[in-house]
Structure 1
Amino acid sequence: MANIVAIVGRPNVGKSTLFNRLIEQRKAIMDDESGVTRDRHYGYAEWTGKFFTVIDTGGYVTGSEDKFESEIRKQVQLAIDEASIILFMVDSHAGLTDLDKDFAKVLRTSKKPVLIAANKADTTEKIHMTGEFYALGMGEVFPLSSASGSGTGELLDEVVSHFDEGEKNAEDGIPRLAILGRPNVGKSSFLNALLGQERTIVTDEAGTTRDSINMRYRLYNKDFILTDTAGIRKKSRVKEDIEFYSVLRAIQALQDSDVCIFIIDAERGLEAQDMSIIGLARKYNKGLMIMVNKWDLIEKDTKTADIFRKSIEEKLGTLDYIPIIFTSVLKKQRIFQAIEKAINIFNSRTQKIPTSRLNDVILPEIERNPPPAIKGKYIKIKYITQLPTYAPTFAFFCNLPQYIKVPYERFLENKMRKHFDLEGVPIRLFFRKK
């Protein structure tokens, strides 16, 4: 059984701060406003050679003004069901509250080991005040400060003592697919439809997802990690701090990914803001595909998809190698084909083409269409090889590399794509002196 630790508790006790400390990354957004975390949020941690999964959850609350309250409670309950051990976080500064007592009753029904983490115990006086949490009758209380890290070692020693053995770091070498797009195009609905469960909270309100949510997924006998991100909108429209951090997390997810699944709304088409994010993914040499969602809402005839595709390709310009797939997440139309396409892009992006095959295929193309002569000088390309880089990069060795112009470089790129299945994959060509 996997080692899974869920961090739970009422709002604003420091769950996300502890989560970030355990996974040693600033993955969850933290703010003094309560209710910042809404979805379950996963990361990997290691202590004394034992790896385990950590789940951050939203603050458990009843009778609040927050319209997400019942959805957050559902996500907390799912995390409790999934966990092998529960960290019940309380605030030593505020002391034992009625909400803590009510939540303790919920945890008792889980029959899972529960450790009480009394946060904000950063002075001797506060550490003495944590004694009142023994009244919950749930065993040992661990005073700690998730902000400074004091006391977390003792807590983690107890946590890992419950594991039979440490699991391997489960994320090594697994393809990472980031789901990106503007607010409200259906990113979280897409993730939920794939998983067949309410993994993230979905509402008609733009900006429901705030953090980037990682989820392990298996399809066609292949494991990969899906990352649902917050919608990225124009800087001028970003009003609150939390949304600013959400956008930063989405861009971080883009940088960490292998392939970006970029979702657009069929009713709005490809907008300027979309192009700037696609451009960013190209800058970082990520695999890319465009998923047109809500295609079921468009009135169609036999030519609608072709016309729509052409209009997108015109806007993409030199990025017209990006595949486009038409889907309806609501009706589950072609959503699995979209994932299959993303996996193909990952495989193409990581392929290593033998040097002999490169030369056998591309040199005859160059002979048929040699580079144009410049100032009476003829350019001769003698040899091609793939360089050992993260994204497909090829070196062309020739006598006059400085005279090769952009149109001919584009010609070579198109021939490479045609022969070596590089759909959706950014490639780089370098010309060097032989």
Structure 2
Amino acid sequence: MSKPIVAIVGRPNVGKSTLFNTLAGERISIVKDTPGVTRDRIYAEVSWLDKNFTMIDTGGIEPESKDIILSQMREQAQIAIDTADVIMFIVDVRQGLQDADSKVADMLRRSKKPVVLVVNKVDDFNKMMADVYEFYNLGIGDPHPVSASGKLGLGDMLDEVISHFPEGAGEEEEDDRPKIAVIGKPNVGKSSLINKLSNEDRSIVSNIAGTTRDSIDTNVRYNKKDYLFVDTAGIRRKSKVKEDIERYSIIRAVAAVEKADVVVIMIDATEGVTEQDAKIAGIAHDRGKGIIIAVNKWDAIEKDNKTMKKHTEEIRDVLSFMPYAEILFISVKSGQRLNKLFELIDVVMENNAMRVQTGVLNEIVTEAVAMQQPPTDKGKRLKIFYVTQVAVKPPTFVIFVNDRNLMHFSYTRYLENRIRDTFGFQGTALKFIIRERKEGK
């Protein structure tokens, strides 16, 4: 059930971040008047009418000169072409049609991907339409006038965006093979793992960060069962800039996670677990996917009887937000424990789609409440009326209470741990929705 991906491309200062934040419904990236300050949130969930999609901001450009702006925009456009289902190309009515816009439009047109041309900063639709029409010259279809800051014209623009989604996007697919995404920092051995499992060099593996070429999903047969390893389009990068490579590896991870049931997060045993690993892992956790942490290059580590324990503690510490994730120490090179990977994928898939009977669930919660009283606030105590599971992938529970404000995060975590004690749910996040119900209903 993969959500469509919509990528935003455009020159500096045309209002990409403002539009991104307006659509994402919260100010999640820092918008300043200096170009290229959009940091952190690269992707967001957006819903329009009955469609949900993932929006990706392909990046800020630090303009040193017109040439650099153009080459960076080409890179962004390439990423958008590689990873997105629909591309939003943002231009600025006040700056008018620029040379760089035309060159990028040529690239987008050749890609045959659907492009929605968005003309931003149109504060007055009556007076400025003549300036908007100038952008017909780009040859990529009708310009859609909007004002991101004034929230004008966004509905028509979103109607156009979702009209390009593939039929049935976001609906259950017929293909019932488990879909596995392998994500992680550059050079951690993602392509080598898939090559090793499929015994053929599908991806060209080399030691330059970010050199995996086009997206090819790989079918791997193990124990008479098919597994589909989803690849994300290779981003053809020559950038030496660390931030750039990081940003692109995150964009690729978002695209891969979106398509997968189970996510294998690869960590380099020789480097240990890093902040960048935590960022990439956070994407899979946010999406409620089944998660396996594969620690690669385990053969290259000097070991004694405490090594594995020490590494496990370190991983649990940095990735403390996903204590449920399964950890597996592997070596792609020697093939160590790769067969165990398939066993874990099966277990995690099963847990991610597990349903628990309401009766049993409520017994456990009642018992948990008896063992540890719910919190009180100003003499008012939290009451839990009823719990029921409403969805799978990830398993999602609704808890009906007398007052939502009394339901502290720590108490939800306590109930989650009790539910996990009983049913396991290894390798999958659980989601809890707290709803209020008046007494006696």
Counterpart for residue 229 of structure 2:
226
Which of these residues, 416, 432, 435, is aligned with residue 429 of structure 1?
432
How far the C-alpha of 1:260 sits from its partner, in A, is 0.8
Question: Where do 5+ consecutive residues of structure 1 fail to align?
Answer: 1-30, 42-118, 121-147, 149-168
Counterpart for residue 282 of structure 2:
279
CA RMSD in angstroms comes to: 3.4
Distance 1:376 1:278, change over 3 A: same
| CA contact 1:286–1:425 (8 Å) conserved in 2 | yes
| CA contact 1:281–1:288 (8 Å) conserved in 2 | yes
Which of these residues, 332, 336, 344, is aligned with residue 335 of structure 2?
332
What CA distance in whole angstroms lies between the structure 2 residues aligned with 1:273 and 1:245?
12
Matching of residues 221-370 of structure 1 within 5 Å: 221-229=224-232, 236-237=241-242, 248-370=251-373
How far the C-alpha of 1:385 sits from its partner, in A, is 0.4
Scaled by the length of structure 2, what TM-score is found?
0.56
How far the C-alpha of 1:313 sits from its partner, in A, is 0.6
Distance 1:269 1:432, change over 3 A: same
Counterpart for residue 207 of structure 1:
210
How far the C-alpha of 1:180 sits from its partner, in A, is 0.7
How far the C-alpha of 1:280 sits from its partner, in A, is 1.5
Counterpart for residue 374 of structure 1:
377
**1:26-65 residue CA offsets vs partner (Å, 9 max, x unmatched):** xxxxx999xx9xxxx9xxxxxxxxxxxxxxxxxxxxxxxx
Distance 1:176 1:259, change over 3 A: same
Amino acid at match of 2:230: T
**1:360-385 residue CA offsets vs partner (Å, 9 max, x unmatched):** 23321221112122222222213210
How far the C-alpha of 1:206 sits from its partner, in A, is 2.7
Give the SS at the match of 2:364.
Answer: helix
What CA distance in whole angstroms lies between the structure 1 residues aligned with 2:248 and 2:402?
50
Distance 1:352 1:221, change over 3 A: farther
How far the C-alpha of 1:388 sits from its partner, in A, is 2.9
What CA distance in whole angstroms lies between the structure 1 residues aligned with 2:74 and 2:278?
34
**1:80-133 residue CA offsets vs partner (Å, 9 max, x unmatched):** xxxxxxxxxxxxxxxxxxxxxxxxxxxxxxxxxxxxxxx99xxxxxxxxxxxxx
Matching of residues 187-206 of structure 1 within 5 Å: 187-206=190-209
Question: Where do 5+ consecutive residues of structure 2 fail to align?
Answer: 1-72, 83-109, 112-139, 141-171
Distance 1:297 1:245, change over 3 A: closer
| CA contact 2:214–2:234 (8 Å) conserved in 1 | no
Distance 1:239 1:351, change over 3 A: closer
Distance 1:337 1:229, change over 3 A: farther
Give the SS at the match of 1:387.
Answer: strand
How far the C-alpha of 1:200 sits from its partner, in A, is 2.2
| CA contact 2:398–2:433 (8 Å) conserved in 1 | yes
Bigger Rg, structure 1 or 2: 1
Q: How many residues are aligned here?
A: 274
Give the SS at the match of 2:230.
Answer: strand
| CA contact 1:211–1:246 (8 Å) conserved in 2 | no
Counterpart for residue 175 of structure 1:
178
What CA distance in whole angstroms lies between the structure 2 residues aligned with 1:184 and 1:229?
15
What CA distance in whole angstroms lies between the structure 1 residues aligned with 2:320 and 2:74?
44
Matching of residues 401-420 of structure 1 within 5 Å: 401-420=404-423
What CA distance in whole angstroms lies between the structure 1 residues aligned with 2:248 and 2:215?
10
What CA distance in whole angstroms lies between the structure 2 residues aligned with 1:400 and 1:194?
51
How far the C-alpha of 1:399 sits from its partner, in A, is 2.2
Kindly report structure 1 stretches of 4+ aligned residues shifted beyond 6 Å: 230-235, 243-246
